[in-house]
Chains A and B, each alone.
Chain A
Amino acid sequence: MPIVMDADRVSRSLARIAHEILERNKGVDDLAFIGIRTRGVPIAERLAVHIKQIAGVDVPTGALDITLYRDDLMRHAVAPQPVVRRTEIPFSLDGRHILLVDDVLYTGRTIRAALDALIDFGRPSAIQLIVLVDRGHRELPIRADYVGKNVPTSRQESVQVRLQELDGRDEVAVDVVEGAEP
């Protein structure tokens, strides 16, 4: 099970992304993070902490569950429904510059679902995408604005992201599994 990012590498990538965010955006005041459940959420929270350390500003953070917006629900004749969790976005999106955060970018369908959800919540002035890992194989015209690491993979592989807050350690590994999705 080859590890492509160890704890140190994860940490340095997130620190670098935080700096990039501040470089590319004039002013921090309109920014808000929205992490895509489940692992996008702790990443978003860590980025908010970095920004606070660097620029002294509290950037609001929310959590978005995109299950109900997936395009692959109900397509299977007999399959269990994915578990739905709460969405918690305690601020208005109107006029905000949203930084959407996820752990792995793959086909792009999760991000499409997230965009659909966000439009229902309000009218952000802009949305940028932050991912820890981009594993390629896009099926929709979606790209990330900030990437922790590009990890080229084949479709038979799956990318496993583990985070301290949920899994007890930080690491990104690539497994070989037939027909797997991250």
Chain B
Amino acid sequence: MSPAATSLRSRHLLGIASLEPDEIQLVLDTALAMKEIGTRAIKKVPTLRGRTVVNLFFEASTRTRLSFELAEKRLSADTLGVTTTGSSVTKGETLVDTARTLEAMAPDVIVLRHEASGAPHHLARVCKASIVNAGDGMHEHPTQALLDAFTMVERKGRLQGLRVSIIGDLVHSRVLRSNVLLLTKMGAHVTAAGPATLLPLGLDRLGVRVETSMDAAVDSADVVMMLRVQHERMRGLFLPSVREYFTWYGLTPERMARAAPDAIVMHPGPMNRGVEIDSVVADGPWSVILDQVANGVAVRMAVLYLLAGGEE
């Protein structure tokens, strides 16, 4: 058991891959304190006053972007939002040049979402600011995995030994990769399921059980996490139709009956109702999907707070 961390070892958060279990625990513990701030009348603390955080989003994302923005504002930081449409990126400026232009204005943190796996790693090599990965291509989405873990602990009391099933378009999912890394590091039992055309290689190396049967995956699960299936996948010859996908892999109340009693249902959003998840389940008693959103702000506040004092 590693000694308890009191800070994060890196000044960046590029992925769960480089976090030790004690650092993950530190983020979860700090998020608990941060969550209380959202219950006050004045939802603000002066901690990051005078700090500048740039939200550099090269991919559309309302949910994650707003969540980061709110987290930054609750910590009293100055936030700047840069999105691809209407910026110089569309004029052909490279990622590094865009970041360097921003750096000239001395931001303390750059929160980056990009469609290319490894983009935050590329920036971290050249930028002085701390880089927070808000989702890179198919690679990682570390704050999502952290807020998912926070939600699981909130509802289930623990991660160790928890049976978590993650189902959907696995091969294209950064949420899957980050969750698998985090949950296996913290001692949960992970099952990943989806059609064979959407299974990534390498999961078994991380100790994950891989299924192509939805029923087998949901059976006795404490947590069922559904991933979005994009309509592009039909065109890429991964899936025949939405109808077939929903029939064989959709989360319906009948399938939920196979899960453990008191099982919870999670989804990183946005949901495709009727594709991967039935509305009855999405809006039903098992669902903690809206809690995930609330917890996202607390977790992101914790990450920003901890990075501000991190070592090189």
Contacts and interface: CB of A to CB of B under 8 A. Distances in A.
A81 interface: yes
B34 A74 contact: no
Given A76-B309, A78-B311, A78-B312, A69 B36 contact: no
B36 A120 contact: no
Contacts of B40: 120-121
B33 interface: yes
Contact of B36 (A74, A83, A88): A88
B7 A74 contact: no
A81 B33 CA distance: 14
11 contacts: A69-B46, A73-B309, A81-B305, A81-B306, A81-B308, A81-B309, A83-B29, A83-B30, A84-B34, A87-B36, A120-B45
B30 A84 contact: yes
Interface of B is mostly: loop
B51 interface: yes
B46 A68 contact: yes
A65 interface: yes
A61 to B, nearest CB: 16
Given A69-B46, A74-B51, A120-B40, A84 B6 contact: no
Interface of A is mostly: loop
A86 B33 contact: yes
B34 A79 contact: no
A84 B34 CA distance: 8
Interface residues of B, number: 27
Interface in A80-120: 80-88, 116-117, 120
Given A73-B47, A74-B309, A80-B6, A85 B42 contact: no
Interface of A: 65, 68-69, 73-74, 76, 78-88, 116-117, 120-122
A19 B33 CA distance: 34
Interface in B34-49: 34, 36-37, 40-42, 44-48
A5 B311 CA distance: 39
B305 A84 contact: yes
B32 interface: yes
Contacts of A83: 6, 29-30
A80 B309 contact: yes
A31 B7 CA distance: 38
Contacts of A85: 33
